[in-house]
Chain A
Amino acid sequence: MAKILEGIRVFDLTIAAVGPWATTLLGAMGADVIKVEAPGGDRLSHMVPPTIRGNSVLYISANHNKRMIELDLKKEADRAIALKIIEQSDVFVQNMRPGAVERLGLGYEVVAKVNPRMIYVAASAYGRTGPMAGEAGIDPTVQSFCGWCGITGPDHGRGEIYRHLAHLDLTTATTITQAVLQALIARERTGRGQRIEIEMLTAAMALQTTRLAEYFATGEQPAPLGSAAAATAPHQAFECQDQRYIAIGVERDEQWPGFCRALKLDELICDPRFATNRQRVVHRAELASMLAERIKTKPAAWWTIRLNREQVPCGPFLTFEELRNHPQVLANGHIVEIETPHWGSMHVDGLPWKFEGTPAGPIRAGGKPGEHMAEVLAELGIVDDRRAGASK
């Protein structure tokens, strides 16, 4: 069966994490992603620990579904090869610091002249206008800047950084993937390529749109609430008798009576302090302390059974060892184990979407820097005089 992006070639000049994850997704949909690295590979991502068989997990994880080539774009001969690949590509993605790609002679104007149908993505931390134009950024610096830490932390405690330092990278990456798909649709209709600009800062703020809306409405900084949601209640973690925590989320008014029945607190169903979400949020603290006391009297398993019976959202706090063998994860391929060419078998993230007509995947590990050089050049009919002897 045809892949959804069959026949779409991506010239991937990305570094670190944001750009590479975006093109990994395009590759999962069937695009031919040609990752172009400087000789020796992308220095930043190759150096970051942890490692698997001596190779950075970051490099491996951010470069699935690609073919790896090396070009020294500061040399005219290699730049000429790049332009020949660009002629035969549909999408160009780069996330260098603004100005850097222009210095390599591969800015939008140059690329669009070579290939007017090109969809050209320039992703950066803070964009190319304003007082911070051109500044580099990585996940923790953008987290710090974008207000993210102020809404996350213990209940009314100090805001903290999300220590998995990749979520905003991936959020930006998904925005890139989405914009490329939009532009591919547009190109089918107009015949024209275009330029796409994406800033990590804006992507990070869009991901906080519900929380920023609170601030726009009230003019007050929302406080961290521990595990609790701001706009729905009860929607937080509770400690059970066996000292396990259970996550419970009553997001809809119609879930409230069932929740009360599950806890055998039927008298609360019509209690005017708690009958609607609005009232429960207003009386959040009072409600939470009553519920905490009740939930502490039985083990987590008991509440899980009763809440499931009433179709009230609840769940445990799982770990990787539980997840990688979890029947739900296995049944849906949310985490999968793959064989790689150089690094043995490893667990990777499953695909985030299911296409019934044009299946995506399977996930293929990329390769080492330059591994597919000869194959890619031969396939594209590009003669590389300098390497002709060496690659034989």
Chain B
Amino acid sequence: MSSAGSLDGFRVLDFTQGLCGPFCTMQLGDGGAEVIKVEPPAGDFARRMGPPFIGDESAVFLSLNRNKKSVVIDLESSSGRETAARLAREADVVVEDFGPSAATTLGLDYAQLRAENPKLIYCSITPFGEEGPLRHLPGSELVVQAMAEYTTSLGRIGDPPVRVGADIASLNTGTFAAQAILAALFHRLRSGEGQRVAVSEFGALLHMRGIMWSSLSDPDDWYGFHLDHYIKPPDYGYQTKNGSFYFILRRGNSEDWDRLVMELGMEEALADSRFDDYGRAATSIGRYATEVKPIWEKAFANRTREELVDLVKSIGGDAVPIMEYPELLAHPQVAALEVVAEIDHPTAGRLKTVRPVARLSDTPNSIRLAPPTLGQHTDEILRAAGLAQDG
């Protein structure tokens, strides 16, 4: 017996491509919405983002498009635009990333669609926001990370910039778009009113670094981890005999601290004021963490990561190994939380995917459909809508 999802019965018409919009609409699909992914005849450009590919599909595309139905519509033809507009009449939500004013040219902007569907929720996603001198420019993951100052927290001063490895501009923005749509749906349930909502990748990343702007705007002193990280060297955690780990001492008492110091043979720390208060300022975001790291690492050199994780935990600290994907995915905690789900794809075989994050007890998120092949549902959707397929 399967429970209904929170968005069962809602229909989303999704004109987006790439990473950001598709991550948004995948989350709506996870919630139970029917997501109709409108693709150009060549397909979403993310289908070509790679290698790696599995069969004909890129791994990137496969990770962002479950719980959707693919319909090919050529928006460059007037009949294609008419078909899209007809589908929008039956939709609860339209999501687009055509770029400023492009939707108007296509006859698919909010004003035109609302005329036929007054309760519509219409979400626009842009790189830099809908106002301002850059509103017409295209963006990319790195361009947005760079302009939002994200790379200043990585690498070494004077060296080439280092990006955040995950696609955060795209994916975090996709989540904000999903939030905006959900909030607008909630409002519609209460008031009967639709509306237009908008998010931008630049705005999303600048929002997520807000604590930095407050830290930088008028601080009492240039001190504290939000400011220090601009000038700190790269942080690799703590090197041990067999890999690295990370730890923080949070609940110190003298008995535990003495035991840790004795066990590690770090008696020198007892006379070093930087280790005062049971080492609280000597690890993680502590004031002296960077400068005393060599003292810790000398003590860790002949111990294994596992021993050290256990030792720190035994005195009430937090400690974890620094892991790469093979080790992470084999970890029993990842298994216990069932983070990785599997689904059968028509051409790519059995796929692994990260499950929907939130577990809702009464209206669970779910994975029902594999990522679609290009145009897999064109006939089904157009026939159900009473529209002949456009050649």
- Determine whether the beta carbon of B234 is less than 8 Å from that of A160: yes
Q: Measured between alpha carbons, how far is A162 from B226 in the docked complex, in Å?
A: 12
Q: Measured between alpha carbons, how far is A281 from B58 in the docked complex, in Å?
A: 12
Determine, out of B81-89, B192-200, B381-389, the stretch whose residues face the partner at the interface.
B192-200
Q: Does B254 contact A (CB under 8 A)?
A: no
Residues of A in contact, count (CB < 8 Å): 161
Q: Measured between alpha carbons, how far is A208 from B210 in the docked complex, in Å?
A: 22
Can you list 12 A-B contacts (CB < 8 A)? A148-B166, A179-B357, A181-B182, A188-B186, A194-B360, A202-B339, A206-B356, A251-B45, A315-B139, A324-B213, A348-B214, A352-B208
Q: Does B299 contact A (CB under 8 A)?
A: no
What residues on B are CB-neighbors of A376 within 8 Å? none
What residues on A are CB-neighbors of B50 within 8 Å? 231, 277-278, 281
Q: Does A299 contact B (CB under 8 A)?
A: no
Q: Measured between alpha carbons, how far is A356 from B209 in the docked complex, in Å?
A: 24
- Determine whether the beta carbon of A182 is less than 8 Å from that of B357: no
Q: What's the least CB distance linking A167 to chain B, in Å?
A: 7
Contacting B219 at CB < 8 Å: which of A57, A201, A215, A228? A57
Known: A201-B334, A282-B51. A194 touches B362 (CB 8 A): yes
Interface string of B83-100 (1 = CB under 8 A from A): 000000000000000000
Determine, out of B69-77, B124-132, B264-272, the stretch whose residues face the partner at the interface.
B124-132
Q: Does B115 contact A (CB under 8 A)?
A: no
- Determine whether the beta carbon of B153 is less than 8 Å from that of A221: no
Q: Does A158 contact B (CB under 8 A)?
A: yes
Determine, out of B255-263, B318-326, B372-380, the stretch whose residues face the partner at the interface.
B318-326
Q: What's the least CB distance linking A265 to chain B, in Å?
A: 19
- Determine whether the beta carbon of B216 is less than 8 Å from that of A229: no
- Determine whether the beta carbon of A185 is less than 8 Å from that of B182: yes
Q: Does A77 contact B (CB under 8 A)?
A: no
Q: What's the least CB distance linking A49 to chain B, in Å?
A: 3
Q: Measured between alpha carbons, how far is A186 from B365 in the docked complex, in Å?
A: 12
Interface string of A324-351 (1 = CB under 8 A from B): 1001111110110100000011111111
Q: What's the least CB distance linking B306 to chain A, in Å?
A: 13
- Determine whether the beta carbon of B59 is less than 8 Å from that of A216: yes
What residues on A are CB-neighbors of B222 within 8 Å? 50
Q: What's the least CB distance linking A10 to chain B, in Å?
A: 14
Q: What's the least CB distance linking A170 to chain B, in Å?
A: 5
Most buried by B among A52, A206, A218, A248: A206
Q: Does A217 contact B (CB under 8 A)?
A: yes
Known: A160-B235, A210-B19. A237 touches B358 (CB 8 A): no
Determine, out of A68-76, A135-143, A381-389, the stretch whose residues face the partner at the interface.
A135-143
Known: A129-B337, A213-B60, A323-B206. A205 touches B147 (CB 8 A): no
Contacting A163 at CB < 8 Å: which of B142, B154, B194, B209? B154
Contacting B171 at CB < 8 Å: which of A4, A154, A209, A318? A209
Interface string of B135-179 (1 = CB under 8 A from A): 101111111111111111111000111111111100111011111
Q: Does A106 contact B (CB under 8 A)?
A: no
Interface string of A132-175 (1 = CB under 8 A from B): 11011110111111111111111100111111111100110011
What residues on B are CB-neighbors of A151 within 8 Å? 165-166
What residues on A are CB-neighbors of B173 within 8 Å? 352
Contacting B146 at CB < 8 Å: which of A61, A140, A184, A237? A237
Q: Does A297 contact B (CB under 8 A)?
A: no
Q: What's the least CB distance linking A37 to chain B, in Å?
A: 19
Contacting B198 at CB < 8 Å: which of A155, A202, A281, A354? A354
What residues on B are CB-neighbors of A4 within 8 Å? 183-184, 186-187
Q: Does A29 contact B (CB under 8 A)?
A: yes
Contacting A337 at CB < 8 Å: which of B49, B161, B189, B217? B217
Q: Does B291 contact A (CB under 8 A)?
A: no
Q: What's the least CB distance linking A16 to chain B, in Å?
A: 11
- Determine whether the beta carbon of B363 is less than 8 Å from that of A316: no
What residues on B are CB-neighbors of A25 within 8 Å? 179
- Determine whether the beta carbon of B220 is less than 8 Å from that of A167: no
Known: A147-B325, A216-B59, A249-B143. A355 touches B162 (CB 8 A): no
Interface string of A214-255 (1 = CB under 8 A from B): 111110011011111101100111010000010111111101
What residues on A are CB-neighbors of B172 within 8 Å? 170-171, 174, 207
- Determine whether the beta carbon of A353 is less than 8 Å from that of B189: no
A351 — nearest CB in chain B belongs to which residue?
B207
Q: Measured between alpha carbons, how far is A203 from B208 in the docked complex, in Å?
A: 15
What residues on B are CB-neighbors of A175 within 8 Å? 175, 357-358
Q: Does B336 contact A (CB under 8 A)?
A: yes
- Determine whether the beta carbon of B199 is less than 8 Å from that of A131: no
What residues on A are CB-neighbors of B247 within 8 Å? 141
Q: Does B248 contact A (CB under 8 A)?
A: yes
- Determine whether the beta carbon of A213 is less than 8 Å from that of B180: no
What residues on A are CB-neighbors of B212 within 8 Å? 164, 320
B137 — nearest CB in chain A belongs to which residue?
A308
B250 — nearest CB in chain A belongs to which residue?
A136
Contacting A167 at CB < 8 Å: which of B132, B164, B183? B164
What residues on A are CB-neighbors of B358 within 8 Å? 175-176, 178-179, 182, 196-198
B127 — nearest CB in chain A belongs to which residue?
A313
Interface string of A59-87 (1 = CB under 8 A from B): 01110000000000000000000000000
